[in-house]
Amino acid sequence: MLILLAACGNKPSSSSDDYGPKAADIFGNPDYQAFSYGGYLEKTRDIAPTHEQITEDLKILAAMGVKILRTYNTSQFPQAALLLNAIKELKATDPDFEMYLMLGAWIEAQGSWRPGTDHSQGNVDNNTKEIDTAVAMANEYPDIVKAIAVGNEAMVQWAVNYFVYPKTILKWVNHLQSLKASGQLNSDIWITSSDNYESWGGGSTVYHTDDLVSLINAVDFLSVHTYPFHDSFYNQDFWGVLPDEEQLPKTQMIDATMKRAVEYGASQYQGVVNYLASLNIDKPMHIGETGWASSDSAAYGAGGSKAADEYKEKMFYQYMREWTDTEGISLFYFEAFDEQWKDSADGQGSENHFGLITLNNEVKYALWSFVDSGQFDGLTRSGQPLIKSYSGDENALLAEVLKPPFKSTMPVRKISTVNSTLSAGDTVIASHYLVSHDTFVPASDNQMTYPSAGIKLVPWEGTASIEMSPEGVIAIATRTSEWWGASLEFQGAVGEDLSEFSSGALHFDIKGDADIIFSLGFQTGRFLQGNQVNSFVAFGKGTAYPVSEQWRTYKLSIDDLNKGTNMQNVTGILSFLSRERAENKQISIKNIYYSQ
């Protein structure tokens, strides 16, 4: 596997001012294993772990060979301050104890977490406090703080509640670099932002901006996130058992699947490498976050991608460490300990189960060897010893492990039938624009066409699932939420130009629960660019377009749907939105096409 810009491991050397090894010495050094750390035990971060609890965690992490931790906030919560103090005290009592931090400063948009968020501006009060506190901590603990990360997934645009554009991150990175240059901050501290691979240019060209290039030039290294676990549900190209693996023993088919998961993560990392190469920029790159949950009640569990269990978690952790250690890449694995605040309403939600040690002190399968070797002997959490999950019964663990879905029978979440002679942005002039149909097929003797780019089936913010059967039936299942939505999203760099269909019709067959209420139609523009228009009509109970358990065929006039758009930038080929709570409701739709 070719990695062009990985940092190389070096033997640590002391700084001239005796602050211990420099960031350049420990990042990319496999002798300095890295983890993300929260350590929260309760359902809210308002209750921080105590000094004693953090000290226990540090001893456990040290026993695992961990020497670099990543945090997320400085001023909003007391955890980082408590962690720094606990490390200081352990260093004072044990000269051989080593633990360093990549200190995270939380950056968010103006008006975050409420309607009307202004993504073009940062939350000045919050962001200033976070950065100022990070500087103060770095200056107070120069032997511990080796890097500062400006923001956590703060630029990726699916973080709709708080994301900012690169210019906001760049402002604070430049500020920190100027403090280093003036001697107000240790010049050996590395400055970065820790964000999704797409935010660093490794995916959609939407992120390829001049401000991003300036940011890449300004940071000391790139901290890149990759999450194959989430994409086991949302982007399944890599996921599943291949046909020639279906007869293998369960563990072997899982091992093969997990190796592909790691290769998929590596490909996202490589996407950023390739983007930097295209800019002729040479910067160190490390993985600021990745992980694999051991349990889930919905998208990644038995009713979803079947990705979440302790065996797959172990194999992902093992294969990721092998790859990154070999390539000289620091891997801040998420995370050492389960935390329950991230999804406090659903104890079985995957966000609560990314740790390698549970809240009740059970060591998950990935770390059983540390119990066997005695490295955890005498160590405790909240005063209680660490024990193996499943009481150490490997057969019991494996009995609960689910086989990944077979590729040969997996539902589809991406429609890949395209017209390769068209390009996104070209005006579609055919008489019929086919999304999915069980009898219509474009041919030289008809005026039918497929889309100019693929179409992705996207559930909005986990409020529903959406997938297509091999027979072409798209099924939507709603989840527990105050609203739900999903879309067939066009994957071109620009939207599809369907302006020739503005006097035509949208056709489809639909069935589902009769008591559901929702809106249906197409979307133009993009929400995150502030120009999205929903051209919808009401469907379901009490509307002119009822749904029942029997298939119904509808032909909707574009004139009735269109909310004043010219249809030159259609991004949601077919979208669904409901502001009504609708738990465990079903909708099926097929034979979708537009006609002039």
- The per-residue DSSP string of 329-386 comes to --EEES-SB--SSTTTT-TTSGGG--SSB-TTSEEPGGGHHHHHTTTTTT-EETTEE-
Residue 440 and residue 325 share a domain: no
Are 64 and 164 contained in the same domain? yes
Q: CATH code at 585? A: 2.60.120.430
Last residue of a domain, one of 341, 374, 400: 400
Range of the domain at 43: 23-330+359-400
Q: Is residue 364 part of a domain?
A: yes
CA 10 to chain centre: 31
Q: Determine, yes or no, domain membership for 409.
A: no
Which residue did the predictor score with more confidence, 411 or 375?
375
Look at residue 148 and tell me if it is in a domain.
yes
pLDDT tens-digit profile of 167-197?
999 999 999 999 999 999 999 999 999 999 9
Tell me the per-residue pLDDT of 465-489, one tens digit each, with 9 for 90 and over: 899 998 899 999 998 888 999 999 9
470 and 396 belong to one structural domain: no
Q: Could you read off the pLDDT of 486-539 as tens digits, one per residue?
A: 999 999 989 999 999 999 999 999 999 999 999 999 999 987 677 899 999 999
Distance CA 198, CA 206 (A): 9
Q: 408 in a domain, yes or no? A: no
Q: Cα angle at 218 between 215 and 223, to 5 degrees? A: 70
Residue 8 lies in a domain: no
Is the pLDDT confidence value at 4 over 50? Answer: no
Amino acid present at 15: S
Q: Stretch 365-394: mean pLDDT, rounded?
A: 98
pLDDT digits (tens, 9 = 90+) for 237-276: 899 999 999 999 999 999 999 999 999 999 999 999 999 9
pTM, full prediction? 0.88
- Assess whether 390 and 427 both reside in one domain: no
Average pLDDT over residues 382-395: 98
> Is it the case that residue 145 has pLDDT exceeding 80?
yes
What pLDDT is recorded for position 505?
A: 98
Question: pLDDT tens across 78-118, in order?
Answer: 999 999 999 999 999 999 999 999 999 999 999 999 988 99
Does residue 350 fall inside a structural domain? no
Cis (ω within 30 of 0) for the bond into 335? Answer: yes
Residue 122 has a pLDDT of: 98
- Domain co-membership, 433 together with 364: no
Task: Give the lowest-confidence range in 12-16, 137-141, 340-344, 454-458.
Answer: 12-16
Which residues lie below 8 Å from residue 471, measured CB to CB, with a gap of 6+?
Answer: 438
As a whole number, mean pLDDT of residues 292-309 equals 94
Statement: residue 387 has pLDDT above 60: yes
Residues 527 and 560 in one domain: yes
Count the domains in the chain: 2
pLDDT 10s digits, 57-82:
999 999 999 999 999 999 999 999 99
User: In this structure, what CATH number is given to the domain that contains residue 112?
Assistant: 3.20.20
Give pLDDT, residue 1: 35
Same domain, 320 and 213: yes
| Sheet hosting strand 570-578, strand order edge to edge | 414-415, 455-459, 484-490, 570-578, 517-524, 533-540
In a domain, 407, yes or no: no
Determine the average pLDDT of the residues in 437-442. Answer: 96
Instruction: Identify whether 7 is part of a domain.
Output: no
Average pLDDT over residues 230-243: 92
Res. 234 pLDDT band, cuts 50 70 90: confident
The amino acid sitting at 341 is W
Last residue of a domain, one of 374, 400, 426: 400
The confidence score (pLDDT) of residue 17 equals: 62
Whether residues 307 and 384 share a domain: the answer is yes
Q: Scanning the structure block, which residue is given the tokens 């939505």?
A: 485
Query: Based on the domain organization, do 171 and 39 belong to the same domain?
Result: yes
CA distance 89 to 78: 17
Dihedral of CA 384/385/386/387: which sign?
negative
Residue 434 shares a structural domain with residue 364:
no
pLDDT, averaged across the chain: 94
- The span from the CA of 343 to the CA of 356, in Å, is 17
Range 380-397 average pLDDT? 98
Residue 11: per-residue pLDDT: 37
One domain, residues 238 and 379: yes
Of the three residues 400, 422, 452, the one that is the final residue of a domain is 400
In a shared domain, residues 159 and 240? yes
Please report the pLDDT score of residue 204 as a whole number: 87
Say which DSSP state 241 is in.
Answer: B
